[in-house]
Amino acid sequence: MKTRILSFMLVLVLLTGILCGCGDTKTQNVSTTAAVDSNTPVPVETEDLGTLGNTKWNGRTFSILGVYSSNETSFEICPEEDAGDNISAAATRRNLMIEDLYDVKIQQVGDESCSTNLAVDVAAGSVSYDLVFLYRDDMATAIIKHLFLDIMNLKYIDFNRPYYNEFTIDSMKIDDRLYHMSSDFSLVDKNRVATLFFNRDLAENHNIPDIISQVKEGSWTFENFFTYVKMTSFDKNGDGNMDYLNDQYGVTIGSKDESIHFWSAMGVKTVDVDGEGEYFFDYNSERAIEASEKVKTVFTNKNYYYASQTSDNYEGAGDAFTSGRALFYGAVMSSLPSLASEAEFAYTVLPYPKLDDQQQRYYSNNNNRYCATFGVPICAEDPDFSGFMIEALSWRSTDTTLQNYYEVNCKFRNSYDKDCSDMMDVLFDSLTYDFGFLYDNILKTNGNTPKSIVSGVLRYEDRSLTTAFEENGEAQKTLLSQLLLVITKD
């Protein structure tokens, strides 16, 4: 059975390796502004414009294919009509600034089928947009199909600049190639960062030490987390049965699989890369196993945590938190605005805790299916123009859209909270990507993906990562080798 699965997957992966030759036919599924007479930038005498120099683009239009769904829609590119919020206003200011400085026009195109549009357009040999946002699973498929250029080869981009997170960028590279990325320009990826919310009033009532100070000092560990969970978990109505409607939990999570964020925060990955650039499955390493055993001390005990089990009560974990009956709540950053309107207590965000105090840094996970990163289509008309605009948008977003995003998400009780902002800094500065999560469905063996294997072990006392690797590791190694061959094929 394993051989059949491997053969099928190999054929599937190899068939997706589409390489395009740019042709003359324009696609019809998106509309763009008419092209200008010249695509050549013209140097002008003006003030110093930083890393981009004194460059004008003769009114050229820069088109961005955004993502659209009821769960997450690109809101960092162009403002929605009559949105009236400060992020949209900041996007307007930023875009006007860039358009004026560099003589360009920024526009957003696309619909809910943007990933399909990209594949069709590249197959036709022509795309009418210069940058593309895709959700996690769509991005993985597009990379396998060779729909994106290597961003490392583009002119103008300076990854040493502070609006790029070097740690995050390095975790997205494959063989020193970069097919997708994020920066201060992208916000949908930040909106889907795994986040631990913290009820500060409840902590004060239970005499819990200052966790925010622990984070800043680097001493926020799982041992401390576990201690506080035990201190705040109890059967409030005394009926001998813990339930999210009546009792108090140390931690609630939006779904039963989200305990994996605690595991990832301990500096482990399902698939990692060594100093020689070789990728390998790492969920059976000594550290990964130690991390799993720590996480299981909480998430195999229903007296300590509540996890929404079905779509019918998916919001139960959030309800328990906003009702003041949970100290911690594991979700994603996009949950913050709703908390602002529902919570009657002081709260903030936290990174997930470290394995121990020897861990050098925090790690924030972004394996959510609606995380969107961006790349440059392989048939982009002028890749260097794309590189120029990535640099411009990334640079000019720091103090406009990103700053306003912070302010919106850090508001509670109609005020701006500096502690929340500081914790968001920690989260975003520690954001890392797990190769195994990005290509999760492609590395599936016997119905098990890297993510489902680990999350399954974390929920059951009688399961272990060692056994899980013995059952799946060899087949997954073969798939990983095949996947890397396809991705790195020139």
Q: Quickly list DSSP for 396-448.
A: HHIIIIIHHHHHHHTEETTEE-HHHHHHHHHHHHTEE--HHHHTTTTT-BTTB
Residue 430's identity, in one-letter code, is S
Q: At 178, give phi and psi (nearest 5°).
A: -130, 105
- Average confidence (pLDDT) per 10 residues, the chain, 490 residues: 35 35 33 38 50 89 90 86 74 95 92 72 86 93 94 94 94 94 95 94 96 97 98 90 89 89 97 91 96 96 84 71 94 85 90 97 89 94 96 96 89 77 94 93 90 94 94 93 91
Structure tokens at 11: 């054929």
Which DSSP symbol is given to 59? T
The architecture CATH gives domain 194-365+434-488: 3-Layer(aba) Sandwich (3.40)
Between CA 211 and CA 220 the distance in angstroms is 7
What pTM value is reported for the model? 0.87
Instruction: Provide the pLDDT for residue 193.
Output: 94
Between CA 182 and CA 172 the distance in angstroms is 9
Structure tokens at 454: 């680990």
**CA neighbor of 364 nearest in space, from 354, 379, 356, 374:** 354
Q: At 291, give phi and psi (nearest 5°).
A: -60, -40
**CA neighbor of 450 nearest in space, from 140, 15, 193, 134:** 140
Between CA 55 and CA 26 the distance in angstroms is 28
Between CA 455 and CA 467 the distance in angstroms is 14
**Domains 13-191+368-409 and 194-365+434-488 belong to one CATH topology:** yes
Between CA 400 and CA 88 the distance in angstroms is 10
Residue 238, classed as helix, strand or coil, is coil
Question: What CATH code is assigned to 13-191+368-409?
Answer: 3.40.190.10
Going by C-beta distance under 8 Å and a sequence separation of 6 or more, which residues neighbour residue 335? 195, 197, 318, 329
Instruction: Provide the pLDDT for residue 395.
Output: 95
CA distances from 350 to 185, 251, 280, 433 (A): 23, 13, 30, 18
Which sequence spans correspond to the domains of the chain? 13-191+368-409, 194-365+434-488
Residue 384's identity, in one-letter code, is D
**CA neighbor of 102 nearest in space, from 153, 49, 142:** 49
